[in-house]
Amino acid sequence: MSPQTETKASVGFKAGVKDYKLTYYTPEYETKDTDILAAFRVTPQPGVPPEEAGAAVAAESSTGTWTTVWTDGLTSLDRYAGTCDIEPVAGEENQYIAYVAYPLDLFEEGSVTNMF
């Protein structure tokens, strides 16, 4: 197959990396009674904004992946995506708490231990 040949899999799809915070960083989000809440201590790498680091935690622990994939179009990511807000840890340089709210629909019944 020549380099100019286009396959069906590549038509209408462009792979690439996008910022997590565009989808998962939502400081205005109001939690629902059905959300599962978690807090993560985050140390962003040099040059990475804290909002992006926190959003990466929310993404990778819910529906996200480090790259755009064609299967993203098959699922309603808004229904299953975790949402994130982040706050600095008092007295700790470059330390943050990422608060993530996961929709209950993300989990199969009985799959989360120690939850009632």
Q: What is the pTM of this model?
A: 0.69
Nearest Cα to Cα of residue 105 among 42, 44, 35: 35
For the chain, domain boundaries: 15-104
Tell me the β-bridge partners of 41: 97
Q: What CATH code would you report for 15-104?
A: 3.30.70.150
∠ CA 101-107-108 to the nearest 5 degrees?
165
Does the CA dihedral 12-69-28-49 come out positive or negative?
negative
- Digitized pLDDT (tens) for each residue of the chain, 116 residues in all: 444 444 444 445 454 556 878 777 888 888 889 888 889 999 999 999 999 999 988 888 787 665 566 666 666 666 667 788 999 999 999 999 999 988 877 777 777 776 65
Structure tokens at 91: 């007295």
Nearest Cα to Cα of residue 27 among 79, 85, 97, 111: 85
